[in-house]
Amino acid sequence: MLVQSIVSNGLAVGAIYALIGITYNVMFSASRVFSFTAGSVGMLGGVFGAIFIGQMGMPVIIGFLLTLAVGAILGVVIEFVTVRPVLKSLDQHLYVLSTLAAALMIQQLTAIYFSTDAVPFPRVIPFETAFFDQKFWLPILACIATIVGLEYLFRHTLIGRAFLAIAEDNYAARALGLPETRLRIASYALAGVIGVLAGFSAGQLMFASLSNGPLYNFYGFVPVALGGMGSNRGAVVGGLALGLFQQVANYFFGGVFSSVAVFVVFIIALLARPEGLAGAATARRV
Amino acid sequence: MRITRRKVLSGSAAAAATVATGIYKPALANTDPIQIGYLPAFTGPSSSTGIGIGRGTQLAVDEINAAGGIKGRKIELVMRDTQSEPTKAVNAAVELTRRHKVTAMWGPLNSGETAAAIGNIARDNVPMMHPCWVDVLIDVKKYPMAFRNAPSNQQIGGAANHYVVNVLKAKKVAVISDTSGYGTASLDAYVPMLKTMNGDVVYSGSVDANNPDLKPELLRMQSAGAEAIMPWSVNAGFLARIINTRAELNWDVPIVGQTTLGSGQTKALLAKPEYWEKVYPNNFRNVCYDAAGQFPPQSAEFVERLKKAKVEVSDTLLWWIACGYDGPRLIAEAIREAGTGAADIVSYWNTKVSSWKGIYGTITFTPDNHNGFLDEGVIMCQANSLKDGAFKLAPGYT
């Protein structure tokens, strides 16, 4: 039972962290901006799922699609409000302030208009499984679907290649005539969709709760740093490893000490490989 | 006598001077309303408490005023919504004590806001009644004019510990909290208390309230042989996870602790409603019904009065309404018997309030103890018995 608990919870929580890590990455690739709104967007996935399906009584599929639509709109708003104004002065890192401010606003508005308490998230699939409940496999399924979808998008579609071109060198991409601004907006919409998908799929495990925002922000950042900035595969490996390690630490150290253990390992990993586990060391021009 | 213009003018001037200098004073009773400062949180995260207590407060004031007020003077509640924010509570308290010069204060009604505002109210020498549980909010040396008509956290923890050790006869106990200030402070306070009552604490620990998997913690408790779990948290998600995990482990150990265990938010987060069995939160003897579904006579009469006054109970808790009803009545009684002077009100509370029968509980104040609520008033109830804002007494009480 213990191993089952560690594996099921570890993989599920790890998949949520991985999805938030991918959200960070998709925003970063398109703009070189590290947007600290990723966790709050994830939190809203649970909140809007609970509102549409649980409170308004919509069919699950409609509620799910509407939640994704909200995520896409939110991503675009974040691009317009917090990213675009600071793009010209990236070296001053103003995006830290603007995106953190947006994240705080999202948290406050959720507290005012939704709830400060955790709210139940409805069952998404109308059947029970004795061994491996949907609250565990839904985040894993969402993570697999996302990584497969992104791989297909980036490798087999023209727009996906355009995304990669922008991520690789946006000046060169613009010189080739690629619509950088529109692609950046689309990237943020995509990031918003992935973020709310993380929160929606995690709803039954984590509840629809305001407090998930900072949690996702912190723990979603770890796989990005571990896996390498911009590497989605690295984020998935880092996220799943983090989730499993956290559950093992939860069992062996218990309580608050599991968080300490997680961050000790995180710091050691970064000291050993500052570029991340899947990242490549960048050559410095001298 | 001939009335000349000079005589009229000189007479008028003399009359005006007499009135202006106060030499002339008509023997009329003062009918100005008595202003009582009132600081509920009607909005924000603590508003559910504020709304519940507010219904009782309004009913008490309406009844006092309908009966003619206090010696012909109506009570006027000067209310400011603290919006659940301590800074707003401080500003509002200062406004009420300095600008409005209220006779007494009822509230703030939440501990966080009272902790922020109590110093200002004490400095302005205004008598204060509050219902907040945090122990340090009553201190006869620091706040000699502050009184509490509710239990302290010590009494809350003491009642739960008493129930576990003496009523359930659980020999081995697991105590868990979240990592919030309230959670860790409760753990630090209640575990030693439990040990002095010969409780064997086989597990104690604090866990992040957002941790989705509490199975390792409950497995530790189970392997240590725990016969009762005592969670201390106001986080409904954390408490629901403990209850859900207990059910997943097919473990029927009782869960005994804070009132939030019996809240609607906690119930909503349970995987199945039947998981609420054998969950015993704190509550208050006067406002719980017994196995036959009967309230104590005084509370039964109060519930009838609530119905007549069309006070909604089903969406709140009876003990909040009862607490709100008692607070203004204690203030009004002191003013009626001792006058509106701050020292007179405090003196009355210090010396004359003994076994005062409130709806919420029986109150006794002394000059050395402003914690008025009697220990016997704090009991445990059955979480799954909520009906019209009230709970059934937990097994073992009569």
pTM (two decimals): 0.82
Count of the separate structural domains present in chain A? 1
Q: Give the CATH number for residue A95.
A: 1.10.3470
**CA A172 remoteness from chain centre:** 28
A211 contact B CB<8A: yes
Cα of first residue to Cα of last residue in chain B, in angstroms, is 87
**pLDDT score of B6:** 65
The closest alpha carbon to B113, from B103, B121, B104, belongs to B121
pLDDT in tens, A11-38: 999 999 999 999 999 999 888 888 999 9
CB atoms A256 and B208 under 8 Å: yes
Confirm if A111 and B45 have CB atoms less than 8 A apart. yes
Q: Considering only CB atoms, which chain A residues are within 8 Å of B212?
A: 9, 12-13, 205-206
Q: Parallel, antiparallel, or unpaired for β B200-207 and B228-232? A: unpaired
Q: Domain for residue A124, yes or no?
A: yes
The letter for the amino acid at B82 is T
Task: Decide if A218 touches B, using CB distance below 8 A.
Answer: no
A251 and B211 within 8 Å at the Cβ level: the answer is no
Q: What is the CATH number of domain B155-281+383-393?
A: 3.40.50.2300
Cβ separation A255–B205 shorter than 8 A: yes
Check A118 against B240: CB less than 8 A apart.
yes
Verify whether the Cβ–Cβ distance A111 to B45 is below 8 Å: yes
Residue in A with minimal Cα distance to B215: A5
Q: Which of A215-219, B182-186, B349-353 has the highest mean pLDDT?
A: B349-353
Three-state SS at B382: strand
- pLDDT tens-place string over residues B357-372: 999 999 999 999 999 9
> What length is written for chain B?
398
> Measured at the alpha carbon of residue B231, what is the angle toward residues B229 and B237, in degrees to the nearest 5?
120
Domain ranges for chain B, please list them: 34-153+300-379, 155-281+383-393
User: What does each C-alpha distance from B144 to A212, B129, B342 come to in angstroms?
Assistant: 42, 11, 11
In contact, B267 and B382? CB cutoff 8 Å: no
Maximum CA extent, chain B? 110
- Contact status, residue B124 vs residue B56, Cβ threshold 8 Å: no
In SS3 terms, B62-102 reads as HHHHHCCCECCECEEEEECCCCCCHHHHHHHHHHHHHHCCC
The C-alpha angle B44, B47, B49, rounded to 5 degrees, equals 155
* Residue A133: both structure tokens together: 């409940």
Element (H, E) at B393: strand B390-393
Domain extent, residue A111, equals 2-272
**B327: amino acid identity, one letter:** G
**B306's tokens:** 């609530």
| Interface list for A 35-64 with B (CB within 8 A) | none
Per-residue pLDDT tens digits for B281-335: 999 999 999 989 999 999 999 999 999 999 988 888 999 999 999 999 999 999 9
In total, the C-beta contacts within 8 angstroms joining chain A to chain B are: 67
Tens of pLDDT, residues A152-210: 999 999 999 998 898 888 888 888 888 989 999 999 999 999 999 999 999 999 999 99
Q: Does A273 score more than 60 pLDDT? A: yes
Which pLDDT score is estimated for B18? 52
Q: Would you say residue A69 lies in a domain?
A: yes
Confidence of residue B14 (pLDDT cuts 50, 70, 90): low
The per-residue pLDDT for B62 is: 96
Running DSSP on this structure, what letter comes out for residue B272? Answer: S
Amino acid in the structure at residue A145: A
Separation in Å, CA of A11 to nearest CA in chain B: 12
Residue B261 DSSP SS3: helix
Q: State the pLDDT at residue A231.
A: 86
Question: What pLDDT sits at residue A259?
Answer: 79
Is the CB of residue A244 less than 8 Å away from at least one CB of chain B?
Answer: no
Longest Cα–Cα distance in chain A: 62
Contact A34, A24 (CB under 8 A): yes
Residue A279's pLDDT band (boundaries 50, 70, 90)? Answer: low
Please check whether residue A204 touches B, CB under 8 A: no
A7 near B CB under 8 A = no
Q: Which of B269, B272, B276 should one mutate to test binding to chain A, selecting the residue with the greatest count of A CBs within 10 A? A: B269
- Enumerate the residues of chain A whose CB falls inside 8 A of the CB of residue B269: 118-120, 207
The reported pLDDT for the residue numbered B185 is 85
pLDDT of A31 reads 87
What is the rounded average pLDDT of the residues B181-187? 85
Q: With 60 as the cut, is the pLDDT of residue A132 above it?
A: yes
Angstroms from A87 CA to nearest CA on chain B = 35
- Which residue has tokens 């009762």? B228
Nearest to B206 among A1, A9, A256 (CB): A256
Q: A140 — contact with chain B (CB < 8 Å)?
A: no
Q: What is the overall mean pLDDT for chain A?
A: 89
Share of chain B above pLDDT 90, in %: 73
Helices A94-113, A212-227: inter-axial angle, 10-degree rounding: 150
Q: Check pLDDT > 60 for residue B26.
A: no
With contact defined as beta carbons under 8 Å apart, do B129 and B373 qualify? no
Q: pLDDT tens digits, residue range B48-89?
A: 889 999 999 999 999 999 999 999 999 999 999 998 889 999
The minimum CA-CA distance between B289 and chain A, rounded to whole Å, is: 28
Are A242 and A17 spatial neighbours (Cβ–Cβ below 8 Å)?
Answer: yes
pLDDT at site B216: 87
Tokens representing residue A222 in the block: 């770890």
The answer to whether residue A256 is domain-embedded is yes
Q: What is the pLDDT of residue A283?
A: 58
Yes or no, beta carbons of A5 and B213 under 8 Å apart: yes
Distance from CA of B45 to the nearest CA of A (A): 6
The CA distance from B247 to A154, in Å, is 45
Q: What is the pLDDT of residues A222-238, one digit of tens each?
A: 988 888 788 888 899 99
B256–chain A nearest CA distance, Å: 20
- Give kind and range of the element (H or E) at residue B246: helix B236-248
Question: Which residues from chain A sit within 8 angstroms of residue B250, using beta carbons?
Answer: none
Best to test chain B binding among A47, A116, A117 (most B CBs inside 10 Å): A117
Which A residues in the span 57-116 are in contact with B, Cβ-Cβ below 8 Å?
A: 111, 116
Q: Where residue B7 falls among pLDDT bands split at 50, 70, 90?
A: low
Over residues A47-83, the pLDDT tens digits come to 999 999 999 999 999 999 999 999 999 999 999 999 9
Task: Categorize the per-residue pLDDT at A255 as very low, low, confident or very high, splitting at 50, 70 and 90.
Answer: low
pLDDT surpassing 60 at residue A241: yes
The third-level CATH classification (topology) of the domain covering B34-153+300-379 is Rossmann fold (3.40.50)
- In angstroms, the CA B55 to CA B57 distance is 5
Strands B255-257 and B34-38: unpaired
Q: Does A119 touch chain B (CB under 8 A)?
A: yes
Closest to B359 measured CA to CA, from B28, B60, B19? B60
Is A278 domain-assigned? no
Using the beta-carbon criterion (under 8 Å), do A2 and B219 form an inter-chain contact? yes
Does A282 reside within a domain?
no
Distance from CA of A278 to the nearest CA of B (A): 28
Residue in chain A lying closest to B270 (CA): A120
What is the predicted pLDDT for the residue at B68? 94
Main-chain dihedrals φ then ψ at residue A173, nearest 5 degrees: -65, -40
pLDDT for residue B1? 52
Closest CA to A201 of A56, A104, A67: A67
Question: What is the C-alpha to C-alpha distance for residues A47 and A162, in angstroms, rounded to an integer?
Answer: 33
Q: What is the pLDDT of residues B119-159, one digit of tens each?
A: 999 999 999 999 999 999 999 999 999 999 999 999 999 99
Give whole-number Cα distances, B190 to B159, B167, B186, B187, B374, in Å.
10, 17, 6, 5, 19
Closest residue on chain A to B207 (Cα): A255
Instruction: Determine the average pLDDT of the residues in B344-361.
Output: 96
User: Is A206 close to B210, i.e. CB distance below 8 A?
Assistant: yes
Percent of the residues in chain B that have a pLDDT greater than 70, as a whole number? 92
- Confidence (pLDDT) at A285: 57
Chain-centre distance for alpha carbon B371:
12
